[in-house]
A and B are shown apart, each in its own frame.
Chain A
């Protein structure tokens, strides 16, 4: 069975600083994908970034990067130059190849960006 663990229920970061949100995963599959989604207070789920298990480079999307350490089974999200609009809930999720509809989610980390 797959499992995603997010050990930080809440995080604070000052505006313009970088922050790392932790995510560890457990799977016996060799091929899988890792996702991060943002959920602002308005409730919608916003896709941020994706990393495939065979991707050699860490994924980056603008201010978001994914620090993928396969041997440690970790997929931490790094947000650079935090903005007030980054305050939200962040979810790490995983799917195995062949199960494109089926994501396993972590419990989320609530990020608060302060002035």
Chain B
């Protein structure tokens, strides 16, 4: 049982480049979300989805796009990377009965 799988684990980008962080879960959870973690700030919600075809913005959505074409996958896109997007990114899916979030292992992104 893989749970939540994120790729890549590490990525270095130059300012202005684009990339996609992949996230997949095999628990058939309807709810998925993306967080970023910065030093001293805890985790902050970027975007979330309550089911295939439905997404919404979180606390810090600017500079990021998401889509949810299937229950399993929830990719996060950076269209034009900026140094302020240097962070650790976590994808999560939610067990709706308890609200517990299951996190991926995280993706460390550096934008130069």
Contact = CB atoms under 8 A, between A and B. Distances in A.
Given A95-B99, A102-B48, A102-B58, A45 B90 contact: yes
Q: B interface, by DSSP: helix, strand, loop or mixed?
A: strand
Contacts of B35: 103, 105
Contact of B102 (A47, A50, A105): A47
B27 interface: no
Contacts of B40: 107
A107 B102 contact: no
7 contacts: A35-B100, A44-B103, A50-B100, A100-B94, A100-B96, A101-B31, A102-B45
Interface of B: 31-33, 35, 40-45, 48-50, 58, 88, 90, 92, 94, 96, 98-103, 105-106
